[in-house]
Every structure is written in structure tokens, then in C-alpha cells.
A and B are shown apart, each in its own frame.
Chain A
Amino acid sequence: MAPERGIKELLPGNTLKTRVPQEHVERVIRLAPSRYRNEIAKYLVHRSQDCRRCGKCGEVCTHHVHVRNPGFKYFGEPLHHLCIGPACEKTGHYCVKHCPQGALSVRESPMYQVLGDYRWSSDMILATWKMAETGDVPPADYDYDYECGNSGGGFDRLRFKFPKRPPVALREDEIDTSLLLNKRGDGRPKLKIDVPWYGGGMSFGSVSNVTQLSKARVAVAFNTFTCTGEGGYMERMRPYDDHVITQVATGLFGVREETIQRVPIVEFKYAQGAKPGLGGHLLGDKNTVAVARMREAVLGISLFSPFPFHSVYSIEDHMKHIDWIKHVNRRALISTKVSTPTDVDMVAVGSYSAGTHIVHIDGGYGGTGAAPDIAKKNIAMPIEYAIGKVHRFLADEGVRDKVTLIASGGIRSVHDVAKAIALGADGVVIGTAEMVALGCVRCSRCESGRGCPRGIATTDPELAQKMELDWGTQRLINLYSAWRKVLVSILQRLGLRSVCELRGRTDLLMHLDYTKDVATTT
């Protein structure tokens, strides 16, 4: 971050006048259990009427599934989500076997089948929830297969080739996960983030205040960034200015000189992976009074951002845009977010030559608050193909070390983060993973009506109350902590001192469809 003492030289006068004290958020892991009474579980424990309340189950279970509150005669509803299922039998603590009445049974929950999809498997969602709850990797007992989804391609078929023993023995504290965002050496601040990822753009309109602020607060805690999306810059975000990226997107909603001057990074959103070649979508139902005011739009009207920027039809036009922002904000780094067409490599190099610091490529399977289904599935290539293509082309052009390459669009877990970096990205942007940590079940109903029924991606005042800021912040801090731990352990096993050393190391990866060494059908 820009050192505070130099901020006066860097910030324009009128921004300094409106600058508010920056808030500090501690990076402390605290337990943050689900905000719902009944957590969705992989297994269901059933207690029949034969139960004689002997309490044996509570004694043997090491996962605290069976709870009888002090002074109570009966056991409460079993805490299904803590149960590790029939695999418990091997541990000798299986309540079903120990129950003298045979009153207990364990079976897979039908909801386990309902939850999740090809990209985000049920295990992946459950494991993300566990990480957000505990701040640590889910215990092996739970046997969550969360490193990959079931999409059958891309990241889901890539695996790390871990050596039996690390080539270099490293302690965890010796491993560096930070990422330098300004590699141009152009005199602008050399911003460094502590983890090689930052939060993706989600506008006020697509998500609630609490969601946006939780994202901002975790960005402070981990010295990284969050992005406002294209819906403008809430006043409540100002205490986190130093960790905010503001977006200039094709609709130019809420873009003001003052907001551009406040932030250390300004992102041009040319396209979005979920709807490449189309503008942003905010359907009328979600354009509430507050959103309409922020976007200077008419209440209740569907807001479709145009495509493209009608002021940009060439790299020269793009350069003009960048120069404009660089002039308005003398300390800002510029990020250019593009999607992944066939010639994404050319676009990246062109963008670099126009003066961008960060090239952000958003793959075709990226997240969204609303996008046409036809666009999500069919337009532009998945990010797994684009990363290597751009990385190689930047290297061939001799500018790879002058620009930061950020990948997004389908980065679901920290394993995806590591794979994306090994394929050639410097870092990644995450979005859906944060939403899942906040309790998203991926029901895909963010776009219309009152928005997200779970109070995450909504601007409905009543639904938004379902989540509290402290809880949201803590869930994200826990998720980031767990991810960082896993990333460090991956680097440790590979014998790499820093995450930068992992970049472009495709030799450390294997693709299951290209090998006969691993017998797998998944």
C-alpha cells in the first residue's frame, strides 16, 4: 500500500479534504458457524422412537453430533453437518454400532444430491462452508472431495505432481504469498498484496451493502483489494478506500472524478466472462431507490450496460482512456478487465502497450449476478485455455515481467488459484467463492424479484438483514486464512519459497486426460 506519510503528495487536494480515517480490521480467526439453524449436511442421522435416552451415542461420538443440553431429558435434533457418515465405523466411534437399542441410523442426505452442480460440487460447497466457519482446512474425517469439481475438464482434470519429499525443506513462515501489482516501474506506487488474489467486482445493486462491506473488510485484513463493480462507490466504503478498486465499466454508472481519485487501483471493465460481448445486466426488480440514486438512473428500470465502450475501438482509444484516469488520479494503478476471445493474447499485449499495470482476463465460466444463460455457456473460452495463451504471448513479446496477469472466471478453490498461477497467471480474482462462504447455495436466483433469498446478492432491505457485517467479515477472513494455509502447504510440498516462483510452472502440473500413469475415471 501507499505509505500513509506520502499520501499528501499523491492525493489531490479535494480528495484529501473528503478522506475519512481508514479502518483497521484484524486478521484473527474466530469460529463463525452458519447463520441458519439447520446446516445442510452430507449425512442424516436418524434417531428412532426406540431410543431409551441412555446417552451412549453422545459418549462415543467424537464429532459432537448428539447433544443433550444440561437439564434436558431428550437429545436435541442431531447436528447432522458434524457427522462424518458410515466411514465412522472404522474409527470405533460409530454411534449406530454402539446404540444398544439399534435406534440410530445414518444415511446420505437427499439434499447432498440437490446441492451443487458440475462446477461447484456439493463437497466443494460444504468444504468452503467449513473453511469459512473454522478458518482451517476441513478435517480429513469428512472426506470432502473439494479440490476439484465435477466439470470433467480444465482445472478439474489438472493435478499437482507433488514430489515424495520436497526438494527444499522450508518452514511455513519462510514462504511468501505476496504479489506485486505494479511491475511497470513507472514511478507509481509499488502496491503489494499479501495473498495472490483479490475480490472481484460486485456492484451495489447486484449485492447488498453488508456483502460489499464484508468483502472490503476482509481485503483490509489481508492487505488485498476488493472491487466496487460498476454500480458506483458507496459512501460506506470510504473507510476502506486504500483497499478498494473502483470500476469504470461501459455503463459508467456512478463513475465520478472524486471516486476515481480516492482509490489506489482503477479497473476498466471491457467485458465480463459470464457475458462476454454483452454489457452488465441489472434487472428492474433490483433497481431499488438506493440503487437508482447511486447509479443516477430511473427506479425500477432494467439497467443494461452497453457493449462496447463506445469511445474505444482501438488500442489507441484504450490508451486515451488510461491516460484520462492516470491524469485524474496520479497514484492509481490501472487494471484492464477483458474477457477471453480467440485473440485474448493480442488484447493483453495491446492493453499493456496502452499503459495498463494489470491485465485481468475473465474466463467464460465466470460468475455473475445476472447473465443470459446462452452467454454463460457458449461465448468465449474457459480461463484454463486463456491463461497459458496470454502468459506465453506476453513472454514472447518480452513484456511478461512488466505486467501483472490476473485470471478469473471459475476460480472456485485455492487449488484452482494455485493451478491458475502454475499455468501462468500472477494472481487471481475470486467472486463466487466469497459468496459461497457467506452462505450462497448457488440457486441462481440472484437476478430478479427481490434478489437473493439468502440475503447476499440482494438490495431488498428485509432480505439484506439476514446477514450481519461482523459475521460476513469473519466468514471471509476464515476462508482467506484457510486458503492461505493450503497455498502455503502446496508451495511447501513443491519446495517453492514464494508464490511468484510457481508462476508458469506447468511442469509441476499433470492433466489426467493426457496421462496413463493415473487410473481415474472421474
Chain B
Amino acid sequence: MPEKYHIKTRPVPPRRPRIGKHGVVDWREDCARCHNCVKKACVYDRYRQEADYIRNLSEVEALFFDCMGCFSCVQDCTKGLLRLAVNPVYERLGNSYWKPDIIKTTWLQAETAKIPVSGAGYRGPFSGPGFDSMWTDMSEIVRPTRDGIHGREYISTSVDIGRKLPYLALQGDRVMAELPPLVSVPMPLIIDLSSPVHTLPQLDALIEETAAATDLIAIMDARHQPATESHLRHIAFYLGPDSPPVPAETLRKTRLVEIADSPAVIERIKGIKTIHPGIVTSIRVELTATGLHRAVELAGMPEVEAIHVMADANGNEIGVRSPRFLKDMLRHLHTTLIEKGIRDEITLIAGGGIALPEHMAKAIICGADVVTMNLPLMIALDCHLCESCKPGRACPARLETIDREFGVGRMTNLIAAWHDQLIELMGAMGMREARRLRGDVGRAMFFEQLEEETFGKLYGTRTRH
């Protein structure tokens, strides 16, 4: 049996106090000092930990909020002095798309590298915008699972990037056609370029090392100097409109390169291919109003191997009054390419708004081969997404002082947790190959469709959306 893809992880606790959802408000002046104080009985021992924390406090503004919200102390206090409240700092985390819940679960995964497991049923809304309006299917047991899966150790998450031939011409056992280069990645994930707001000097080095530790590929600025030559196979240089050329010697040691879309993009591909014929090129297309059209156009060109479509950070179409979401754009693009009979020839990479591991699986179901993300890695480093990354303003997560152990450890943990959760979803679906997940909308259920089949049939047209 070939060696399985495995990411080595270790727990990496946060450097700063955890920002929990709940906090206890304590009216101490009325305390009767009774000997059976509920604070001693906290199942999670939080009060003692809090006291220890305050005793060793080094900075004034750091608060301790790690209450689990069980209400036990609140309800048992002899004088009823304790109240539970939602932590306002927690509520301020992130934004309307990157909700506090997403940030909290990402922090947890970056710390433990484990799949978040909890008790009690689902707590969220029935459905929601974007990826929340679809459910993945599962394989019920009273019929054979589709791939005859017996165990998740047999699930392969690896995918290929590059151009594929529509058919193979064979003469005897010999393949007549020349096979285009392919890059295999062990999970359908590429680390995207860092956002310009997170331009920390050491960040790229940490991402580079994370990519090497997870055997993935990270898209990096063309100016980036890798720490070691061996890391070059985990780097895809991004050649923007004004990027300096990457030295030919360096380029030859990489496997993938990303080029900004431009009218001269085909010429650039040809230029790169003359330097390194074995490299796979990907074109970065922003999903603006004309983005999808451009992606379809590019897909029809024989020189194009992979197209990286990018929505904005929240997964929306860029610069449009009523934007479509990545999920819908991907479905449209995937279907269009199928209709044109060219879907299998090119690789579709999708990014923007991929915040949770389920988004990775869902984007693939909607038609992407591979997804890209970067912001979740920033969150793994304890980033609050407060968007106040300006010189002179203090970063609440102290991102500028992150060391290698912490940075690479947390980002690696997060990727490992995402990988395990992808396997979890695929296991439930009875899928054995991430390659086969692509575009398989038959193995997903969409809100609009289920509503129409269930309530539309009974009560007519939907009047509220």
C-alpha cells in the first residue's frame, strides 16, 4: 500500500487569552462569602484559572473570557450575584461573512488540529446565503455505497492540476499523444496569495514552510525568496502585471506558476513554457462582471491549462451591484464548460469566501477542482480580522511577533483539521476520490430545489426570499 497522506500536528495553544463567547458578570460587593461558593464547583475550573491568570497578568488590556456558558454557577449562587452575558469582544470579531463562530472554530482547529466535535444538535439558521444554502448528501446504508467504501483510510483526497487530453491515442501499449504536465496535490487546496493588508515581513516565510509541511502549494509573490531550494516545489510564483521576472533557474524548480490575466497572457504562457516545459500554468481571473465570460473564453484556448477564478474575500462577484455568490458562479461556469465539451480538459481553481472546510467540499461539488484560501490561515495565527492593520496601530493578535513554531504549527494544524473534515464529509457521502466529487451536484441538495419540491408543490410560488 502506498504511503498515506498524513500531516504531522501537535497542539499549539494561543499566545493570547482566548476570546470566548460568554463572560460572567460578578456583583462581588453583595457576596456573603459563603463557604460553599459555586466558583469552587465550576466543572471547568474557570474561576481558579481566571484568578491564576490575573495574578500573572503582564498586560493590562488582556481579559480572560473562557466561560463555557453552562449557567451552573449563575443558577446555584446563594445570593444570585452572578450573571452570564455575551462577550462584546467576541461579538465584534470578524464581519458579516467571517462571523465570530467561524473565527472561533478556526482558532480551535488551529490549536488542536482536531475536528470540532460538540454535543447537542445544530444550533444555526435553517439555511442561509452562499454555501449555507446547500447540504451534502450521505450514503444511506440500505443500499451499496457508491464507491463501495469500507473505511476512510481508503479515501483519496489528491487531485491533479493541469491540462488533460480529451482522449488517449494508443498504438499497442504505447501512448501516441504527448502527455501534458500535471501537478498532483494531496488535497484539493492551494494556499493563496496573502492579502496586502497582511504584509508582514515573516509571513511569507511561514506560509512557505507550512506549504512544505503539508505537502501543498502556496501561491507567492514573484519577489519572494524561498528559504531553501527544496521548498520551491511547494511554491507557485504569482506573475502579476508588474512583477519582476523570476530567474529561469528558480522557475525550473517549481511545478506551478500563476499568471495574472491580461490580453497577452497566452504569450506569457508560451514564454514560460520555453523556459520550463514541465511547468503547469494557471491564469488568475477575477470574477468581475466579465470574469465568467473571460474564464469560458480562456478555457477554450489550447495553451490554457488551469484557470484560477477569484471572487472577493466574501465569495461575491466583484464590482457588481447585486453580486452572485461563488457557489452559483462556479455551477454556471462548470455547466457551461460541460456544454462546450471542454470541462475535463482544464483545471478549475476557485477562491474567495472559502472560510470553512465544508466550503472547500461544497465549492468542489459546484464544479471546482481545487480551492484556494488564505484568510483562514491568518485567523489560525489568532488574527481577529479587525482590519486595523495599519502602521502605528496595535494588532490585537500581535501578528508582527509571531515565531516559526507558533505560525507554522497553527497553520499546519488548521490544514490538517480541514483535511480530516473533508474526509469526514466524503466518508458520509460514500465517495472515495476527491476527483470524483467535482461537479457532482447529484450528491448535494440545494435549498431552492428542496423548497420547490416540498413547499412549492404544496403552496405555490415563494413570495419571500
Q: Do A and B come from one complex?
A: yes
Asked if A298 is an interface residue, CB under 8 A from chain B, the answer is no
**Closest partner residue, chain A, to B429 (CB atom):** A277
Contact partner of A453 (CB less than 8 A), chosen from B43, B117, B138, is B43
Known contacts A40-B74, A365-B121, A111 near B126 by CB under 8 Å = no
CB of A447 within 8 A of CB of B427, answer: no
Known contacts A276-B138, A347-B143, A372 near B68 by CB under 8 Å = no
Asked if B78 is an interface residue, CB under 8 A from chain A, the answer is yes
Which residues from chain B contact A273 at a C-beta distance below 8 Å? 121
CB of B141 within 8 A of CB of A312, answer: yes
Contact partner of A374 (CB less than 8 A), chosen from B84, B358, B451, B458, is B358
Which residues of A, 480-514, contact B by the 8 Å Cβ criterion? 506, 509-514
CB of B455 within 8 A of CB of A372, answer: no
CB of B425 within 8 A of CB of A374, answer: yes
CB of B138 within 8 A of CB of A444, answer: no
CB of B459 within 8 A of CB of A379, answer: no
Minimum CB–CB distance from B43 to chain A (whole Å) comes to: 4
CB of A37 within 8 A of CB of B77, answer: yes
**Closest partner residue, chain B, to A156 (CB atom):** B126
CB of B80 within 8 A of CB of A373, answer: no
Asked if B461 is an interface residue, CB under 8 A from chain A, the answer is yes
Which residues from chain A contact B200 at a C-beta distance below 8 Å? none
Distance of A119 Cα from B127 Cα, bound (Å)? 11
CB of B74 within 8 A of CB of A364, answer: no
Asked if A154 is an interface residue, CB under 8 A from chain B, the answer is yes
CB of B126 within 8 A of CB of A151, answer: yes
Contact partner of A375 (CB less than 8 A), chosen from B148, B428, B463, is B428
Asked if B302 is an interface residue, CB under 8 A from chain A, the answer is no
CB of B459 within 8 A of CB of A510, answer: yes
Minimum CB–CB distance from B141 to chain A (whole Å) comes to: 4
Which residues of B, 81-136, contact A by the 8 Å Cβ criterion? 83-86, 105, 115-127, 135-136
Which residues from chain A contact B140 at a C-beta distance below 8 Å? 270-271, 338-339, 341, 343-344, 347
CB of B138 within 8 A of CB of A271, answer: yes
Asked if A454 is an interface residue, CB under 8 A from chain B, the answer is yes
Distance of A335 Cα from B323 Cα, bound (Å)? 48
Interface size on B, residues (CB 8 A): 75
Known contacts A40-B75, A313-B144, A379 near B425 by CB under 8 Å = yes
Q: How many A-B residue pairs have CB under 8 A?
A: 274
Distance of A144 Cα from B182 Cα, bound (Å)? 61
CB of B71 within 8 A of CB of A444, answer: no
Asked if A380 is an interface residue, CB under 8 A from chain B, the answer is yes
**Closest partner residue, chain A, to B118 (CB atom):** A444
Interface size on A, residues (CB 8 A): 106
A150, A307, A315, A336, most chain B CB atoms within 10 A: A307
For the residues of A in contact with B, the DSSP-based class is: loop
- 0 or 1 for each of A92-113: is its CB under 8 Å from B? (1 = yes): 0000000000000000011101
Contact partner of A446 (CB less than 8 A), chosen from B43, B105, B119, B136, is B119
Distance of A119 Cα from B424 Cα, bound (Å)? 24
Q: Which one, A15-23, A215-223, A381-389, is touching chain B?
A: A381-389
Minimum CB–CB distance from B289 to chain A (whole Å) comes to: 30
Minimum CB–CB distance from B94 to chain A (whole Å) comes to: 17
Which residues of A, 202-244, contact B by the 8 Å Cβ criterion? none
Distance of A351 Cα from B140 Cα, bound (Å)? 11
Which residues from chain B contact A336 at a C-beta distance below 8 Å? 142
Minimum CB–CB distance from B269 to chain A (whole Å) comes to: 38
- 0 or 1 for each of A136-150: is its CB under 8 Å from B? (1 = yes): 000000000000001
CB of B119 within 8 A of CB of A389, answer: no
CB of A364 within 8 A of CB of B126, answer: no
Asked if B243 is an interface residue, CB under 8 A from chain A, the answer is no
Distance of A37 Cα from B72 Cα, bound (Å)? 10
Asked if B137 is an interface residue, CB under 8 A from chain A, the answer is yes
List 10 additional contacts besides A307-B141, A513-B464; criterion CB under 8 Å: A37-B76, A38-B77, A113-B86, A114-B85, A120-B123, A152-B126, A370-B117, A374-B116, A377-B358, A380-B135
- What are 15 A-B contacts with C-beta separation under 8 Å? A38-B74, A38-B75, A113-B85, A118-B126, A277-B139, A314-B142, A343-B143, A370-B117, A377-B358, A378-B136, A409-B121, A445-B118, A514-B455, A514-B460, A515-B463
Q: Which residues of B contact A (CB under 8 A)?
A: 22, 25, 43-44, 68-72, 74-80, 83-86, 105, 115-127, 135-145, 148, 150, 356-358, 361-362, 421, 424-425, 427-430, 442, 445, 450-451, 453-456, 458-465
